[in-house]
Amino acid sequence: MRFPTSTQLFSLPLRSTKPPFLRASLVYSRMASSSAFQALKDSSLIKTQGFIDGKWIDAKDGGKIIVTNPSTDEELGTVPEMGVAETKEAIEAASKAFKSWGKTTAKYRHDIMVKFFNLMTENADDLARIITLENGKAFAEAKGENTYSASFIEWFAEEAVRTYGEHIPCAFPGVRNVTIQQPVGVVSILTPWNFPSAMITRKVGAALAAGCTTVIKPPPETPFSALALIELARRAGVPDGVINVVTTQKNVSEVAKEMCENKIVKKVSFTGSTPVAKLLTGMAAQTLKKVSMEAGGNAPFIVFDDADIDQAIEGAIACKFRGTGQTCVCANRIYVQSGVYAEFASRLADRVAQFKVGDGLTDGTTHGPLIHHRAVEKVQSHINDAVSKGAQVLIGGSKLPRPGSFFAPTILSDVPSTALLNTEETFGPLAALTKFETEEEVIKLANDTDYGLAGYFFSRDIGRVWRVAEALEVGMVGTNTGMISQAQIPFGGVKESGLGREGAHGISEYMNTKFIAFGGL
């Protein structure tokens, strides 16, 4: 299997005409300077090196990756352009550390993780500021991500002391059947840029709690959040070699291949697009590693005639425009029943018109930029395609004429089923509305996709609530809510949206069940 080049890999589906008129104008806020790292309360959280075996190191060849602020296109700093040699070194370090970390008590790991959680809470403003500078999301939302991110460390600290085995009654006298849970070993972790902190702790938290050691490849767009977390983990007492970080961009193909095929690695956990998930799964299959793949989404969002429209509007705002539409569980296709279609479209447009788009560190900003200009191009292509097939632009519809990768929050009405956005994840601030008539019709439309991560619907009919929740072919359903993400839930999808679950039950993905029969009793 041939792995894509770095350019191809990061241009795979992201998680990845002028409008005829504007329904209302948007208010845009002033940009902040990329020098804002200087405003951190603890500037030592900014690390510009990779982390292997407890040491901050540069790339062996001195290569660098330039990290930019998507709000300004200004350089924030650099991190090492590492390669296979550094990756092998990180895997070896993790393997050495596993010999002791894997034998620590659950209580010992719990206590370190509680310290880690407390440090994340104490440094919440700095961690949020880093997220905003490299990812672009509004500061208030970045603080929310840090809270969400820390909740995984807290949750899995408690899970560590609950990794129970079981006693199984035996049919033979004098024999006792028991099972125990043991850590799988070294884990490779590959994460995306849209939640630069939470996507790391959701995986690292489970790995640490289970007794595993890790090698992390953060995205080149948002490495500083990852490195800041690892600095806090180090301060919390995580031993050398238990967490290692390899930063790369141009060498991503080779690094990912090593992380998946190296025999020392026993599990691969990835969040990102479905095409990349398939490639990584194929590589991991060469040695039959355990895998967790949280891949692409194409979430339906359904509003029935009997819905509470106020509730549905709030749900759409939270679900569709969180992270400026750059979340794997956000609404990608919005289906509204004919009886409330006009009211819903009008009121949603009124709400979106109130957004304040700008630099995330500016007071009052509600929505930041997209991660880079390729993301802008993708959103524009989806709009152009839908309009060419009969869709109408209610508001927005184009990139904002300013530095950075800002795109106007957009609502399209009368989107036909043939529009490209119905089969591809847009990953941007584009709400595409389609009218439907019957429950049977919309269930068919909602399930007409290869993906099955999340789905949402609004209805006050209790019978319909159960029917639709069970009928949607997704791993997670939001009923009368647009927000489902929590540390306590089993997060994951069906069909081509992935394998395994994170969050609740997620620790089992990092452990092996061993059966022991005790005879001679």
Q: Tally the C-alpha atoms within 13 A of residue 303's C-alpha that lie toward its C-beta.
A: 29
pLDDT tens per residue across span 304-317? 999 999 999 999 99
Question: Does residue 38 or residue 89 have the better pLDDT?
Answer: 89
Portion of the chain with pLDDT greater than 90, in percent: 92
pLDDT score at 26 = 43
pLDDT (0 to 100) of residue 36: 65
Alpha-carbon distance 80 to 89, whole Å?
15
CA pair distance 93, 243, nearest whole angstrom: 9
CB-facing half-sphere around the CA of 5: CA atoms within 13 A: 2
42-54 per-position pLDDT tens digit: 999 999 999 999 9
- CATH class held by domain 299-487: alpha beta
Average pLDDT over every residue of 388-397? 98
Give the number of other CB atoms < 10 A from CB of residue 291. 21
Distance, in Å, from the CA atom of 297 to the CA atom of 13, rounded to the nearest integer, reads 10
Which positions ≥6 away from 39 have C-beta within 8 Å? 129
Q: What is the pLDDT of residue 326?
A: 98
pLDDT of residue 49: 98
Per-residue pLDDT at 263? 98
Q: Residue 354: its pLDDT value, please?
A: 97
Per-residue pLDDT at 31 exceeds 70 = no
CA-CA-CA-CA dihedral for 361, 140, 426, 493, to nearest 10: 140
Rg, C-alpha atoms of the chain: 23
Residue 101 has pLDDT above 90, yes or no: yes
Question: How far apart are the C-alpha atoms of 27 and 172, rounded to whole Å?
Answer: 75
**What average pLDDT does range 125-147 have in this prediction?**
98
Cβ 475 vs Cβ 454: under 8 Å: yes
For residue 382, what are the contacts with CB-CB under 8 A and spacing of at least 6? 419, 420, 421, 424, 426, 428, 430
Q: Does the pLDDT at position 20 exceed 60? A: no
Please state the domain extents for the chain.
Answer: 73-294, 299-487
Task: Characterize the bridge pairing of strands 502-503 and 490-491.
Answer: antiparallel
What's the rounded mean pLDDT across residues 185-198? 98
Q: What is the mean pLDDT of residues 331-346?
A: 98
pLDDT at 10: 32
**Alpha-carbon distances, residue 187 vs 114, 155, 494, 501 (angstroms):** 21, 19, 23, 16
What span, in angstroms and rounded, lies between the C-alpha atoms of 127 and 280?
30
Closest CA to 88 of 278, 215, 239: 215
pLDDT of residue 38: 87
Residue 128, pLDDT > 50, answer: yes
How does DSSP classify residue 488?
Answer: T
What average pLDDT does range 229-251 have in this prediction? Answer: 98
- pLDDT at position 37 is 87
Is residue 19 pLDDT above 50, yes or no?
no
Q: Per-residue confidence at 269, pLDDT binned at 50, 70, 90? A: very high
| CATH topology assigned to domain 73-294 | Aldehyde Dehydrogenase; Chain A, domain 1 (3.40.605)
Catalytic residue positions? 294, 328
The confidence score (pLDDT) of residue 169 equals 96
Mean pLDDT of 241-268: 98
Average pLDDT over residues 343-365: 97
Lowest mean pLDDT, pick from 27-31, 180-184, 193-197, 478-482: 27-31
Would you say residue 3 has pLDDT above 60? no
Partners of residue 434 on adjacent β-strands:
335
For range 348-357, the mean pLDDT: 97
What confidence category does residue 17 fall into, taking pLDDT thresholds of 50, 70 and 90? very low
35: confidence class by pLDDT, cuts 50, 70, 90: low
